[in-house]
Amino acid sequence: MKHVYSLIPRIKTITILAGPISLTGLVNISMNLVAMIFIARLGINEIAAATLATSLYITLLVSSTALLYALSILISYQHTNYTSETCLTIGALFRNSILVSGFLSIITGVFLWNGDKFLSLIGQNEQLVQLTPLYFHYAAYSLFPTLLSMSIGQFYLGIGNSNFGLINSLIRLPFSWFLSYVLILGRLGFPKLGLAGVTCANLIVNSVYGVLILIFMAHSKKLKAYRLFANKCSFNWDVCKQILFLGIPIGMQFGGELLAMSVLTFLQGYLGAVPLAASQIVSQFALLAVMMVLGLTQATSVLVSAEYAQNNILKIKEYAKAIQIILMIFFSGLGIILLLFHNFLLNLFFSISEPENQLLKYYSLIFFAISFVTMYIDSIRNSLSAILRGMQDSKTPMNIGLICLWFLSLPCAYLLAYGLHLGTIGLQLGFISGFLVASLLLKFRMSFILK
């Protein structure tokens, strides 16, 4: 207990920095959660189609946005020694991150545009696939505004202002909800776009936001020292290489892992629309928890990066212990919430008392339990990965994560589902194995470095 008390300053530091980051993630995910509630009003097929479409979209999107996590880490490293020279370096990092964002949006956009063709190619239900083409087209158009917003948020996080992203997300929230409502359901004279209304709303909101915030940043006296828009058309390959060198392994890890999870979703798609719909419902609530964890781990990366610049190994060890305590407390509270309010949460999407929804309720409750265990183990893995990234080692978490999920999680999931005939529940259970082994390997790696 005395040891825990000694870590309270580190726990407070992580929590204070992570709070706005996590809340920003919650606000952003709540936009999608509300949109999925509107989609559920259209029927089980629509929400099942949303599961397939969002699995592919989020995989490609996160592969790109996660690469930009490197920006806040690099800026935090420079910001530790605040001088006029480091300010110019930070400005150059931000400018070139916009160029990197444009490059990524073109590459990823090509794949997104043809998302429905990919789903057909892998043999998904054609009735569901036919609901997705326009969703993917708007998603492709929205990539650059989304990545630009990510660059802006990472810049502010790197200079220690994590509240900026939260404030702007709160400003965007009502507009996103309103546009999702009118575009998905076709209200107030707007066209009924169904599933495509989700990405169309995202395109409009992020485009307007990006333009307005860039204008604000260009005229902000507080940011004048960084000279963010000096040499507007300059392209510095060395600066881009810094971002890509640290960011590509992060993007590959997140993207590769999400792709493995998408494969799990596609395998689930072969087992029927009802478990697929249940998976989408549970994943919406799981994403809220994931955003909290990502905020905590990203804050830990930034803090560790600052200490690593000072070669302060003792504080890095303290942060490593503090984040584990925070995660334990968080998931204890989350378990109580799920135990007490699971019926209320499911009722947001469908009436759990209706006889025709009992199978959907059954799968949803099972998936809630499995998802809780999976998320806790994965949060430990992500916290260890974050510490290593803060010490400029993004390749080890990438290698361990990809190997464990592709060569352990997926084979175990397939074996339980199809070999042992446990179906969709077997898929979910088998997938936990890779997270567990990856956590153990990352723990060993971190202990070795911090000897």
Q: What is the pLDDT along the chain (451 residues), one digit of tens a residue?
A: 545 667 888 888 888 888 877 887 777 777 777 888 888 888 888 888 888 888 888 888 878 887 887 888 788 777 767 777 778 878 888 888 888 888 889 988 999 999 999 889 888 888 888 989 999 999 999 999 988 888 888 888 888 776 777 788 888 888 988 999 999 999 988 889 988 898 999 899 989 988 998 888 888 888 887 787 876 556 777 787 778 887 777 777 777 777 787 788 778 777 777 888 888 788 878 877 887 888 888 888 888 888 887 888 888 888 888 999 999 999 999 999 988 988 888 888 878 888 888 888 888 899 889 989 999 999 999 899 989 888 878 788 888 988 998 899 989 999 998 888 888 888 889 889 988 999 999 998 888 887 7
Neighbouring residues of 399: CB distance < 8 A, sequence distance ≥ 6: none
Quick check: 20 and 299 in contact, CB under 8 A? no
Token pair 């099972």 is found at 366
* Locus of tokens 């590959």: 252
The pTM of the full predicted model, rounded to 2 decimals, is 0.72
Q: In which domain, by residue range, is 358 found?
A: 2-449
Q: What angle do CA 263, 267, 273 make, to 5 degrees?
A: 120
Measure the N-to-C terminal CA separation of the chain; round to a whole number of Å. 23
Distances in Å between the Cα of 377 and the Cα atoms of 380, 381, 431, 437 are: 5, 7, 11, 10
Write the DSSP assignment of 87-98 as a string of letters: HHHHHHHHHHHH
DSSP 82: -
- Among the listed residues 291, 365, 258, the one whose alpha carbon sits nearest the alpha carbon of residue 22: 291
Chain centroid to CA 308: how far? 25
Cα within 13 Å of Cα(348), Cβ side: 17
Separation of alpha carbons 69 and 63, rounded Å: 11
Distance between CA atoms of residues 228 and 219, nearest Å: 10
Q: Residue 86 is encoded by which pair of tokens?
A: 């480091």
In 3D, which of 363, 366, 275 has the Cα closest to residue 44? 275
Q: Which of 239, 262, 251, 254 is nearest to 107 (CA)?
A: 251
CB count within 10 Å of CB 359 equals 13
Which of these, 68, 156, 57, 139, lies nearest to 104 by C-alpha position?
Answer: 68
Cα–Cα distance, 438 to 440 (Å, whole number): 5
Q: What are phi and psi of 82, to 5 degrees?
A: -75, 105
- For the chain, the domain total comes to 1
What whole-number distance in Å separates Cα of residue 209 and Cα of residue 156?
15
Separate counts of helices (H) and strands (E) for the chain: 18, 0
Cα separation, 404 vs 314, in Å, equals 30
- Spatial CA neighbour of 232 closest among 209, 259, 214: 214
Give the ranges where 348-422 is alpha helix by DSSP (H).
Answer: 358-390, 395-404, 410-414
* Cα–Cα distance, 66 to 70 (Å, whole number): 8
Amino acid at 59: T
C-alpha–C-alpha distance, residues 402 and 434, integer Å: 9
Q: What is the dihedral of CA 444, 448, 450, 451, to 10 degrees?
A: 120
Contacts of residue 429, defined as CB under 8 A and 6 or more positions apart, other chains included, come to: 370, 413, 416, 422
Transcribe 119-135 into DSSP letters: HHHTT--HHHHTT-HHH
Sign of CA dihedral 162, 168, 174, 177: negative
